[in-house]
């Protein structure tokens, strides 16, 4: 099985934006730009290699869930241990119990859970997306009908579920929204929509249109946050998300052969949960480092870029160590992954599935 280069490149773009978004101060205007599409991008990319449920595919489906569940449990346990130790709570049984309960509930969101590692919400949400997609695609094999059904479910979620209920276990409510982007990726399989194949005038026009739509959504809808169930106007939310996805995919097809960007995408499954641990390590243990980190992360955009680069550079070696010595912990089989393949114009469905989830 060969990896798809431009998908790895798109993941690389996305994971850098995730780390950068977490490094910026909450008041930064650039956060509205990043949050408008970075998580929808990951769900869309995962849908590009998804397969609908067919009789006899249960083993493959279970392996896909295991490739998410094992990393979630592993990084959760590590994060909880770091959190407890860094706060000097090692001997407090109730502290361990509270964090382990948060891990079982699998939600961070507005309730402030998962203080030990907020980004882990993506794993539980993604597992729910995979289960929902398997059920719906089995019942509705026609892609057009499936899209209509998923859109209807999302509309119902915005109108009734989100206003009426608190966060649901394992982010099931957010998964109903994320399923839109996952299904969009699935519906796009096999379509040759790469802008590299278009006439120059078409490329320029499409880029301008996407930029205008994206800018309008960001300005009119403000900052959104999928994890916090903050979507603003649903119409503008989807306009901004899909416009951002289109721009990211277009960029990824042009930089698909840049080794560094592809490497970021490949290692995203470790970067996503591990970069957040750097927020815990300085607490009480390294007061000077904590002060320095505060100054950096509350400074301007360019300093935030530097901090993000430092965090990523520390995470990458850990990925390769786990890939070599404990690949199961990052959702891989014991066999080493194949080399990256040249980037096609637009990738059809492959057997890659979510062995390395797009974060």
Residue 353, domain member (yes or no): no
Q: Which of 63-72, 127-136, 287-296, 304-313 has the lowest mean pLDDT?
A: 287-296
Task: Tell me which residue range forms the domain holding 23.
Answer: 3-189+200-341
> CA gyration radius for the chain?
20
Residue 352, domain member (yes or no): no
Per residue in 284-300, pLDDT (tens digit) is 555 555 655 665 666 67
124 has a pLDDT exceeding 80: yes
Percent of the chain at pLDDT exceeding 70: 86
User: Which candidate, 233, 186, 239, places its Cα nearest to that of 210?
Assistant: 239
Residue 245, domain member (yes or no): yes
How long a stretch of residues is the chain?
Answer: 359
Q: Specify whether the CB–CB gap between 147 and 304 falls below 8 A.
A: no
Per residue in 330-356, pLDDT (tens digit) is 999 765 544 444 444 444 433 333 434
Residue 356, domain member (yes or no): no
Number of domains in the chain: 1
Residue 357, domain member (yes or no): no
Residue 26, domain member (yes or no): yes
Residue 194, domain member (yes or no): no
Whole-number pLDDT of residue 26? 75
Q: Helix 301-325 crosses helix 5-23 at what angle (to 10 degrees)?
A: 130
User: Which candidate, 79, 128, 76, places its Cα nearest to that of 104?
Assistant: 76
Residue 358, domain member (yes or no): no
Q: Can you tell me the mean pLDDT for 83-100?
A: 91
Q: Specify whether the CB–CB gap between 80 and 103 falls below 8 A.
A: yes
Q: What is the DSSP string of 13-29?
A: HHHHHHHHHHHS-TT-T
Whole-number pLDDT of residue 352? 38
């Amino acid at each position: 099985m060969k990896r798809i280069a431009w998908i790895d490149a798109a993941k690389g773009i996305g994971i850098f934006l995730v780390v950068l978004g977490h490094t910026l101060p909450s008041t930064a205007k650039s956060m509205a730009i990043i949050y408008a599409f970075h998580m929808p991008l990951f769900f869309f990319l995962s849908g590009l290699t998804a397969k609908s449920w067919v009789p006899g595919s249960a083993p493959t489906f279970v392996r896909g869930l295991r490739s998410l569940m094992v990393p979630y449990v592993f990084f959760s346990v590590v994060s909880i241990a770091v959190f407890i130790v860094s706060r000097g709570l090692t001997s407090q049984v109730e502290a361990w119990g509270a964090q382990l309960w948060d891990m079982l509930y699998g939600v961070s969101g507005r309730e402030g859970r998962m203080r030990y590692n907020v980004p882990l919400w993506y794993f539980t949400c993604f597992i729910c997306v995979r289960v929902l997609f398997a059920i719906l695609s089995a019942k509705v094999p026609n892609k057009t009908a499936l899209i209509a059904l998923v859109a209807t479910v999302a509309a119902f979620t915005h109108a009734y579920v989100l206003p009426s209920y608190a966060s649901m276990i394992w982010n099931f409510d957010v998964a109903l929204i994320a399923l839109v982007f996952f299904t969009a990726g699935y519906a796009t399989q096999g379509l040759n929509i790469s802008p590299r194949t278009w006439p120059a005038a078409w490329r320029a026009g499409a880029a301008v249109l996407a930029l205008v739509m994206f800018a309008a959504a960001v300005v009119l809808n403000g900052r959104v946050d999928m994890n916090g169930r903050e979507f603003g106007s649903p119409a503008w939310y989807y306009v901004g998300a899909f416009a951002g996805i289109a721009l990211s995919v277009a960029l990824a097809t042009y930089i698909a052969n840049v080794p560094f960007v592809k490497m970021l995408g490949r290692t995203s499954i470790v970067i996503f949960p591990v970069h957040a641990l750097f927020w815990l390590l300085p607490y009480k243990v390294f007061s000077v480092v904590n002060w320095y980190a505060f100054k950096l992360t509350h400074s301007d955009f360019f300093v935030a870029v530097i901090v993000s680069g430092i965090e990523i550079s520390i995470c990458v070696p850990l990925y390769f160590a786990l890939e070599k010595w404990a690949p199961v912990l990052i959702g891989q089989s014991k066999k080493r992954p194949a080399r990256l393949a040249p980037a096609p114009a637009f990738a059809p469905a492959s057997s890659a599935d979510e062995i390395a989830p797009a974060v």
